[in-house]
Chain A
Amino acid sequence: MMIEILADAAQIALSPPVIVAVLFGVVLGVTVGAVPGISGDMAMALLLPFVFTMDTAPAIGMLMGVYKGSLFGGSVSAIMFGVPGTPGAAATILDGFPAKKAGMPNRALHTGLYSSVFGDFSAVLVLIFIATPLALLALKFGPREFFALYVVSIIVIASLDRGRVALGFASAAVGILLSMVGRDPFSGAPRYAFGSSDLAGGLALVPVLIGLFAVSEIMLQVGRTWKHRLQEENRRIEEAAAAEGYDISKDRLSFREYRGLWRAVVTGAATGTIVGALPGAGATLAGFLSYGLTKRFSKQPERFGKGALEGIAAPEAGNSATAGATLIPLFAFGIPGSGSAALIGAAFIMQGISPGPQMIESNMVIIYAVFGLLLYGSVFTLITSKLLLPYYARISMLQPRYVLPVVLGLALLGTYATDNSIFDVWVLIGAGLLGVVMRVAGMPIAPVALGFILGPGLERSLRQSLILGFNEMSYFFQSVIAASIYIVALVVLVLFAWVTRK
């Protein structure tokens, strides 16, 4: 019986139309992921109309291909330009961009690729074998457990920068404040809108992230050219020299070197799988948390932020692991844990398969076919990206003055196209200006992004907890899971302080 199901599933998964659909999805995903401003979610939403006319396996395969591909693709522009191609790749910048600047883009990109594929593949295996038990744990996460997770995440990430902890918290607070602009999530009343219906709609994630990370960088570049033309000239000469002197044969990632990163890769994959399975968390949190944990436990934490390959391997394994893991609550309980999972869920619904308790049982063949194509989809990511990476590495050595206008143009276009909104373009420019001010003042950018992303969840879980606990503070600590999260975080912080003092 089971053998028959697996044979039928394999026949579907390995049929030419399905393979072509997955391949198409992966190539499209890596490409849109690499382009800042165009996220995998956006490409998936644009493909959704075609899902109606396709069979289930190729339709889901195509969307999952885009999803997987974009999670890796995001790291390409993160490493090459210091701009996250997708929000999930924001943590990859921290070491990816310095690594490129240190003249090893090829090694950085390959580290990202192998870690992405490892994280993705292992999360799919987890999905296949322990989807139901893990979903049971995730389902136990109520508002106070999420509140604990968010608080701990913000503390961990804000204190990443040793010596700049206060600035880190200040940045995270700016991010949380920005996330409050818009409608009150529960009452719908406008906040910080000052009578503008655009502001009442809130600030969208895409323009804020691209503005902070990309546009601010471009603005600074332009500013430098104008003010310090001479300095710029010198820098250009240096860069040209670096470009001429760049020898890809000296910038290869050896197996031995990559094997040394196993701790970071496994930490990232495990973190990403667990975070991905939690509804509401997602690739960005997974990336930052993997990075933070790996840095905390690294033997050489001082190398982080200066182009450490560990600092690329961990967030890439982490964010890619969420692709498979985010399907766990969707498959077991019909709960989409992220925007991408909601789009995959919609595609299943369009195909007449309701995500939920009975989904796997009543659609055994097709679900196992989906499992199969998820596995070989990872291999497609590996092969297609491997073929393209040498070209990407070369492109990354182009002078910024050629590349940045293209990136800016794509960022503006992508931002406008996401919601057909001119207001978003202003947000992009505003976030860019904020980024410039922060960079000049020496404030780290990453905690702003994190605060902005986690802000709504933090607020929601706090307010829901207060309602559920009738405003009693003790309610927050009466849950075993929440209390454990606080205790583990406390132990880790104390341990870390003790270790570094030694």
Chain B
Amino acid sequence: MRLMTLIVAVALVGATPAAAEFPERRPIRVLTPYGAGGGIDIAARILSAVGERHVGTRVEVVNMPGAGGMNAMVFVHNAEPDGHTLVISDYGPLVTLPLRERTPYDADDWVPLFQVTEIAPTLVVRPDFPDPTFEGWRQRAIEKQGRMHVTHGAYMSSSPLPLLRLEQISDIRTNHVPTLGGGETLQFLLASIVEMAITNSSSIASSVQAGRVIPLAVPTAERVPELPDTPTFTELGYDVVMPVWYTIFASAKVPEYRREILAERIEAAYASEEARQMARRANIYLRPLSGDALHEVYVETVQTVTETIQALDE
């Protein structure tokens, strides 16, 4: 009996040599194309905090900002495709950047492993806006004939793209004032410098609760849990679905079985009670997605972003 067990064990080990070797003992590096302290960084640090137990080796977060995110992407693209170098990002550096500039990679060179969360770039106005609904805003924007000030992040970042898309498929026109990001965007709105702002759903949740800003619409497929009363553009009759996801990617050159192991283990890590507790504390609404469903989301994002940017160039 004992001999039998031994034979079976030896056979099993022999049959799955690759699975036993991966991940190796050295750490897995997850690069972020942004600096420390942002939403993507915090999402990655949750994995780093609980990773070792679930992934099988230490997970280190490396912030590599610069060149619009290209530095980190090129680093991961050029790294040994052994599954020990991954990247967590929104779609900007992966999809938008290759459409705008010559990059050594394009959107097809990446395979999504696991979506950590999904964020809605939300249209918000102040409570003193004459008719603080999407329809009221649309009417006023049309009346003002392109002279209504609206604010959002840099031109090609993920916050103005849903509005650009909306303007492409409707008669709405506005005067876009770009900012460096969420903090400045919110300040411009609260200081009455602009009439409308587009900013991340999670960062304005507390301001919405306090009644300081009123959300008008979100560009997601379904309503988002942090703003349950805010309609989607689809509900309002506009085909604008451009959520921002924070997803962990591997280079497509990484062997498939390694990607599968990683996806499975990263999912388990984020599903742990400890990770969920950390996410709750950091106000990150975990929206786990993997496998075919995630792949589909990625393909759709690539398509919509490509269409929007090509239409801009025309």
Chain A residue, CB-CB nearest to B92: A188
A349 within 8 A of B: yes
Q: Give a binary string over A433-473; 1 marks a CB under 8 Å from any B CB, 0 the rest.
A: 00000000000000000000000000010001001101000
B221 within 8 A of A: no
List chain A residues, Cβ under 8 A from B191: 139-142
Q: Give a binary string over A411-424; 1 marks a CB under 8 Å from any B CB, 0 the rest.
A: 00000000111000
B299 within 8 A of A: no
Measured CA separation A139–B49 after assembly (Å): 36
Query: For chains A and B in complex, what number of residue pairs have CB atoms within 8 angstroms?
Result: 130
Across the interface, A349 reaches (CB within 8 A) one of B42, B175, B177, B209, namely B42
Q: Would B155 and A279 count as touching, CB distance under 8 A?
A: no
Q: Contacts A142-B193, A183-B67, A350-B42: A343 and B37 contacting too (C-beta < 8 A)?
A: yes
List chain A residues, Cβ under 8 A from B187: 139, 279, 333, 335
Q: Contacts A49-B45, A467-B177, A468-B193: A358 and B206 contacting too (C-beta < 8 A)?
A: yes
Interface size class of A (residues with CB under 8 A): 35 or more
Q: Would B37 and A419 count as touching, CB distance under 8 A?
A: no
Measured CA separation A202–B38 after assembly (Å): 20
B149 within 8 A of A: yes
List chain A residues, Cβ under 8 A from B210: 356-358
A333-353: which have CB < 8 Å to B?
333-336, 342-343, 345-346, 349-352
Q: Give a binary string over B173-216; 1 marks a CB under 8 Å from any A CB, 0 the rest.
A: 00111111001101110110110000000010111011010000
Across the interface, A334 reaches (CB within 8 A) one of B37, B48, B186, namely B186
Q: Would A143 and B186 count as touching, CB distance under 8 A?
A: no
Measured CA separation A337–B292 after assembly (Å): 42
Instruction: Give the size of the chain B interface in residues (CB under 8 angstroms).
Output: 55
List chain B residues, Cβ under 8 A from A52: 45-46, 49, 278
Q: Give a binary string over A321-336; 1 marks a CB under 8 Å from any B CB, 0 the rest.
A: 0000000000001111
A14-52: which have CB < 8 Å to B?
45, 48-49, 52
Measured CA separation A460–B100 after assembly (Å): 22
List chain A residues, Cβ under 8 A from B68: 183, 188, 200-201
Measured CA separation A254–B154 after assembly (Å): 53
A300 within 8 A of B: no
List chain A residues, Cβ under 8 A from B147: 470
Q: Contacts A188-B155, A349-B283, A467-B177: A48 and B64 contacting too (C-beta < 8 A)?
A: no
Q: Contacts A357-B207, A468-B149: A48 and B66 contacting too (C-beta < 8 A)?
A: no
Across the interface, B42 reaches (CB within 8 A) one of A202, A335, A346, namely A346
A474 within 8 A of B: no
Q: Would B183 and A142 count as touching, CB distance under 8 A?
A: no
Measured CA separation A188–B64 after assembly (Å): 17
Q: Would B280 and A352 count as touching, CB distance under 8 A?
A: yes
Q: Would B71 and A53 count as touching, CB distance under 8 A?
A: no
Closest beta carbon of chain B to A355's beta carbon, Å = 9
Q: Would A48 and B178 count as touching, CB distance under 8 A?
A: no
Q: Would A346 and B71 count as touching, CB distance under 8 A?
A: no
List chain A residues, Cβ under 8 A from B186: 333-335
Give the residue among B65, B175, B180, B206 with the most A Cβ atoms within 10 A.
B206
Q: Would A346 and B36 count as touching, CB distance under 8 A?
A: yes
Q: Would A346 and B183 count as touching, CB distance under 8 A?
A: no
A186 within 8 A of B: yes
Measured CA separation A183–B68 after assembly (Å): 8
Q: Give a binary string over B144-155; 1 marks a CB under 8 Å from any A CB, 0 the rest.
A: 000101000011
Q: Would B190 and A358 count as touching, CB distance under 8 A?
A: no
Chain A residue, CB-CB nearest to B146: A470
List chain A residues, Cβ under 8 A from B278: 52, 350
Closest beta carbon of chain A to B144's beta carbon, Å = 12
Measured CA separation A139–B74 after assembly (Å): 39
List chain B residues, Cβ under 8 A from A419: 64-66
Closest beta carbon of chain A to B215's beta carbon, Å = 15
Closest beta carbon of chain A to B283's beta carbon, Å = 6
Closest beta carbon of chain B to A103's beta carbon, Å = 42
Measured CA separation A460–B188 after assembly (Å): 13
B26 within 8 A of A: no
A249 within 8 A of B: no
List chain B residues, Cβ under 8 A from A409: none
Q: Which residues of A contact B (CB under 8 A)?
A: 45, 48-49, 52-53, 139-143, 183, 185-188, 190, 197-198, 200-202, 279-280, 333-336, 342-343, 345-346, 349-352, 354, 356-359, 419-421, 460, 464, 467-468, 470
Per CB-CB distance, the 10 closest pairs between chain A and chain B, nearest first, are: A346-B37, A352-B281, A201-B66, A201-B67, A186-B178, A45-B36, A142-B193, A335-B183, A356-B206, A354-B206
14 contacts between A and B (CB under 8 A): A45-B63, A139-B191, A140-B191, A186-B155, A188-B100, A188-B156, A333-B187, A349-B283, A352-B283, A358-B209, A468-B149, A468-B175, A468-B177, A470-B175
